[in-house]
Structure 1
Amino acid sequence: MTNLMAFARGKGLAAAKGGAPARLLFDEPGPRARRRIRVATVVASLAVLALLLLAVRQFAAAGQLDAARWQPYATWPMWRYLLNGLWSTLLAAVVSAALAMAGGLVLALGRLSSRRPVRWASAAYIEVVRTVPALLLVYVVLFALPRYGLDLPLFWKLVVPLAVSNAAAFAGIFRAGVLSVDRGQTEAGLAIGLTRGRTMRMIVLPQAARRVLPSIVSQSVGLLKDTSLGFVVSYAELLYSGKVLANYNHLLIQTYIVVALVYLVVNASLSKLARTLESRQARA
């Protein structure tokens, strides 16, 4: 296996060395463009800062920043309840991502298939599902399927629509990854007697998976945010838990600010992971 990968990699490198240099997606900005970008960035940052200061001032005038209103969130019972909601969010996101990635890989291979019916069916699924909002799929699972005798458990009423919706996005990512692998890799596998299926499985897919890993993590961030649709099916994810907690303690603004900060920390961590993976691949 090691010799096979080395042989295929060598063929790909040989082909790459003889090819044209990679092209950028856009031209490098000149001095004036960079100056305009810096000015626009400063102006936008100042505008956002001004809005934040105005919001803080209004909250303070309305008594929303009083210590008594924030004191409940310095206690463990409040955080335990929110962390249980966060755990439910992460569980739904992980299961949805696993199913969506599996479905996306199958769809990507279908789009690359030499069989026209398979290719058309995969393309039709991707194009249709990409235009349908995830919320509409949640409503289909919640209201339409039970009329036909298919009443899923609460957890799967959220996971299934998210998996169905994100499978189309993951299919595009995997397909782009496969197409980015040099054709010399496939030709090398076929040259040593491998079938096209084994070449795809043993040579092309491992390289494609490494290339699209940052995009997979980025798509998973969006999927994690989509779990907030759990409030529609009364699944006790983080946002729904925050809603219940706000109704209980009547601290609406404080509760949703805390929930937003939790989302910010989790999503920023995943985004940082995606940027780290992307920078490592750029250096490789």
Structure 2
Amino acid sequence: MTAHALHGDTGSTALYDLPGPRARRRHFLYGIASTVVILALLGWLLHLLFATHQFTTAKWRPFAYEGIQDLLLEGLGNTLKAFAYASVLSLLLGAVLASGRLSVHRPVRWLATLCVEFFRAMPVLVMIFFIFVALKVQPLPALVAGLTLYNGSVLAEVFRTGVDSVEKGQREAAYALGMRKTQVMTHVLAPQAVRAMLPTIISQLVVALKDTSLGFLITYEEFLHAGKLIASNLDYDLPFIPVVMIISPIYIGMCMLLSWFATWVARRQRRNPKTEAVDVAPAEPGTALPGTLL
């Protein structure tokens, strides 16, 4: 049964009433006002950049040098390397901690909860500095470890919430069919929870990508560190502004690429027949379940 059949063509849904002509006109005016404000801010920003002569040839000529381009590319590669390690390890740690949080064994559940709450509350920069300075770990492992502990603990709560959001009847039906707990988790709960968790998972990975910039504080030669090194060697006023104007769009582009990837995966899941809901007619008394013997 479709949403129209459930709610009727009355111009409303179960969550909110569709806006009428006056509301649509008001929203249209709000949109125009917001656009004008944004354009005014952009115009003011461009005015400041031109007033401080940020687009002169002398300030952009150094970026045509091959050495500076290689330095930026090397920093970008190091950023992507740290992000790749941190994202994979965060997902694995999150899955392990979420499994502990969902465990029926109380000591395991308490230990997992303690780890999640501790690392979620600890600032990621403090963890990175502690690992780098106190434990004397190299910059890349220290950065990856700090990002993994923080983002893994956050993802653990995302995974746990996603699994708990699946209707209890799904779990009970799987146990009634004789499935073990591991089978229920991998074949029933996790596939249904992934679609609900995916946007939040990608959002947290975007946070991990942006937090790789903290590596420059422990001398890890990532993208921001390369930009800082370039700006500190330029011999004109406000050298950081052209560097920021190059680095910022690349960071924004990488985050947008992650968001696009999440949208593509979600769309692919909706088209996958294995993840589509199937309407099952009620079984008549005495009907055998599929895969069982009469």
Alignment TM-score, normalising by the size of structure 1: 0.80
From 193, 196, 202, the counterpart of 1:208 = 193
Report whether the alignment pairs 1:50 with 2:40.
Answer: yes
* 68-77 or 232-241, which deviates more: 68-77
Aligned amino acid, residue 30 of structure 1: P
What residue is the counterpart of 1:83 in the other structure? 73
Give yes or no for contact 1:72–1:78 (8 Å, CA) kept in 2. yes
Greater Cα offset, 209-218 or 58-67 = 209-218
Residue 9 of structure 1 is matched in structure 2 by none
Alignment-derived partner of residue 263 in structure 2:
275
Q: Match for 1:62 among 45, 52, 57?
A: 52
1:72 to 41, 52, 62: 62
Greater RCO between the two (CA within 8 Å, min separation 6)? Answer: 1
1:230 aligns with 2:215: yes
Amino acid paired to 1:151:
K
AA in 2 matched with 1:172: E
Unaligned ranges ≥5, structure 1: 1-19
User: C-alpha separation between the residues in 2 aligned to 1:124 and 1:90?
Assistant: 31
- Of 19, 23, 38, the residue aligned with 1:30 is 19
> For the structure 1 residues 249 and 276, does the alpha-carbon distance in structure 2 shift closer, same or farther, using more than 3 Å as the test?
same
> Which amino acid in 2 is paired with 1:27?
Y
- How far 1:200 sits from its partner (Å)? 1.6
SS state of the match for residue 233, structure 2? helix
More helix by percentage: 1
> Deviation string for 1:155-185 (max 9, x for gaps)?
1111111100001211122112212333343
Q: Partner of 2:103 in structure 1?
A: 113
> Counterparts of 1:101 and 1:261 in 2: how far apart (Å)?
27
2:121 is the alignment partner of 1:131: yes
Label 1:45 to 1:126 Cα distance change in 2 as closer, same or farther (>3 A).
farther
Structure with larger Rg: 2
Alignment size in residue pairs: 258
The aligned residue for residue 249 of structure 1 is 234
| 159 and 36 in structure 1: CA distance in 2 versus 1, 3 angstrom threshold | farther
1:64 aligned counterpart, secondary structure: coil
CA distance in 2, matches of 1:38, 1:130: 41
Q: Please tell me the root mean square deviation across aligned C-alpha atoms, in Å.
A: 2.7
Contact 1:211 1:281 in 2 (8 A): no
- Deviating more after overlay: 182-191 vs 166-175: 182-191
Q: Does 1:103 align with 2:93?
A: yes
Structure 2 spans left out of the alignment, 5+ residues: 1-5, 8-12, 277-294
The match for 1:10 is none
Cα shift readout 1:63-96 (whole Å, capped 9, x = no counterpart)? 2111232233344433322121111111111111
| Conserved? CA contact 1:218–1:274, under 8 Å | no
Normalised by the length of structure 2, the TM-score is 0.77
Q: Give the deviation of 1:131 after TM superposition.
A: 2.4
The answer (yes or no) to whether the contact 1:135–1:229 under 8 Å persists in 2 is yes
CA contact (8 A) 1:228 1:238 kept: yes
When residues 119 and 253 of structure 1 are mapped into structure 2, their CA distance, relative to the original with a 3 A threshold, is same
